[in-house]
Structure 1
Amino acid sequence: MSSKQNLFTIQFWGVRGSIASPGPETVRYGGNTPCVEMRVGGERLIFDGGTGLRVLGQSLLSQMPVEAYMFFTHSHWDHIQGFPFFVPAFIKGNRFHIHGAPAPNGATIKQRLNDQMLHPNFPVPLQIMGADLQFYDIEMRGKIQIGDVTIENAPLNHPGDATGYRISWNGYAAAYITDTEHFPDRLDENVLELAHNADVLIYDATYTEEEYSSPASSKVGWGHSTWVEGVKVARAANVKKLVIFHHDPLHNDDFLDRLGEEAVQEFPDTLMAREGLSIQLVPPTVTNSVLAEETSVSV
């Protein structure tokens, strides 16, 4: 087995929620919306197609031809707006397997990606893309097998629905759980199931507890969670490392620094997601521990 086939690496290309927020106050954590790449057992998996997908696409131009498996949590704009700017999808010879659960109105992921590229929203249609695009409607609570990699899913608590994913390979697991709102009186069983004994939990912590429950500007019902709830899930699910994700566009770098310090006090193995963060799960043939390191990459 080659070294690339014997790795489980998670790369963050977009970590911001709701709307892209570039500027001098978001330089360190980044302003692009959700896109997470995983290289698992020799396969390339891409989760969500926010504006971070454009940056990932630029990095892939030196690696073509490219084949990847894309998984969308849902089709709110911050999770799909990078797709029309994903250059590898326009290049013949590349292949992308695109997965998503049907929307409550029955619209498939293909229909929704297609619709955002229709006039007057975008100058060229999806059909202009030259890559081989294959679309799949995923079955909720089903399993998808890609080589030795298993992808499971479960529904999340979000307006218009959303899907959480668990990626398993060679005894390791990562959970991608974003755009979900916690319940006031209990932990979400679907979230716990996806996160159970995971090496890494990527969790939607858009708000602080104060922002979420503020009488003046309550975010209850908006479909997002807090880092405190993320800690509760990490503890209950026996997670090794918690990654705070889907940062609010109003949270600048200094704010996120302070938030991260608070989270680490409650759950020491916590990381704040930022563009360029790479987490590597090292196979047991190399070490019996899970290593996580921050690295600088060209984005």
Structure 2
Amino acid sequence: MLIRCWGARGSIPVSGREYLKYGGDTTCIEVVAASGETVIVDAGTGIRSVGNRMLLEGRLECTMLFTHSHWDHILGFPFFKPIYHHNAKISVHGCPLAQGNMETLLAKTMAPPYFPVPFKDIAANVSYEPACLEEICVGSLNISSIALNHPNMGLGYRFEEEGRVFVFLTDNELGQHHRGGRNFEEYVAFCAGAQLLLHDAEYDEDDYTRTKGWGHSLYSDAVELALAAGVERFGLFHHNQDRDDHGMDCMVAKCKSLLGARNSTLDCFAVQQGEEYSL
């Protein structure tokens, strides 16, 4: 399984020389199965680059999963070029939860007066799965889900293939309970034994004094989850829009200090836009 990050930023895209290392596009993860199928998680602004690469490589089929439908996770959808290609085939999965069905939600991103091209002009063959995802197979990938601890709810995903595991839990607040969310032990069980965990770690201690309850984790809580679950690699995700490259480097240093004090060999890093992981 090949995992590519096309956007790791939270809330709103950013640009500038101070964001060059970790990138400014919002959430979009691509997972390519050993059997060749493409799965895209979320349609933040990073999805534009995924679509460009897919067309360049002649890949016109994909499965799309959504963690939830806050703006930073869907606002790139109108710029995903395969939706305008007559030969493209896209299967969209998304749990309605408290937010409505994904077809309606995605249509809103192209509704006037916010976007000039109407949703009805999509040329691709797009199918929508209305039911909440519990477990599906896409080629050689087995994909399961868990409810996120986040306002308006959402889903996190576990990808398994040939004994290798990748877990993606963004917009998941470990330090506060939200309606529909799970407890810490349940997230530990969901992440257990993963070779790679990417988890929301937006806030440091100063941030969290005023942002507790906003739906994002304190980095140290995410480290504790990674340790308890026994994962091999842990990537900080959903970078705050005001945290520049230096700030992210400092957060990684704090994580490594925590791990050093525990004599842990866990590989901790902050996810960089454009990074690839092969499992």
Asked if these proteins are the same fold (TM beyond 0.5), I'd say: yes
Letter in 1 for 2:193: N
Structure 1 residues 74 and 159 mapped into 2: Cα distance closer, same or farther (>3 Å)? same
1:120 partnered with 2:113: yes
Letter in 2 for 1:135: Y
TM normalised by structure 1 equals: 0.86
For structure 1, which runs of at least 5 residues remain unmatched after alignment?
1-7, 282-299
Alpha-carbon separation, structure 2, partners of 1:36 and 1:225: 19
1:265 partnered with 2:261: no
DSSP-derived class of the 2:227 partner: helix
Alpha-carbon separation, structure 1, partners of 2:222 and 2:200: 8
Match 2:248 to one of 246, 256, 260: 256
Q: Contact conserved, 2:30 with 2:39, CA < 8 A, in 1?
A: yes
- Correspondence for 1:245: 237
Structure 1 residues 123 and 197 mapped into 2: Cα distance closer, same or farther (>3 Å)? same
Alpha-carbon separation, structure 2, partners of 1:47 and 1:23: 25
Letter in 2 for 1:114: A
- Correspondence for 1:56: 50
1:90 partnered with 2:84: yes
- Correspondence for 2:64: 70
Q: Contact conserved, 1:177 with 1:191, CA < 8 A, in 2?
A: no
- Correspondence for 1:289: none
Q: Contact conserved, 2:176 with 2:212, CA < 8 A, in 1?
A: no
Which whole-Å deviations, capped at 9, do the CAs of 1:63-92 have from their partners, x for residues lacking one? 124211111100100000010110111111
- Correspondence for 1:29: 22
Within a 5 Å distance, the mapping from 1:129-208 to structure 2 comes to 129-139=122-132, 142-183=134-175, 188-208=184-204
For structure 2, which runs of at least 5 residues remain unmatched after alignment?
260-265
Q: CA RMSD in A?
A: 1.6
Alpha-carbon separation, structure 2, partners of 1:53 and 1:253: 22
Letter in 2 for 1:236: A
Alpha-carbon separation, structure 2, partners of 1:143 and 1:156: 16
- Correspondence for 1:277: 275
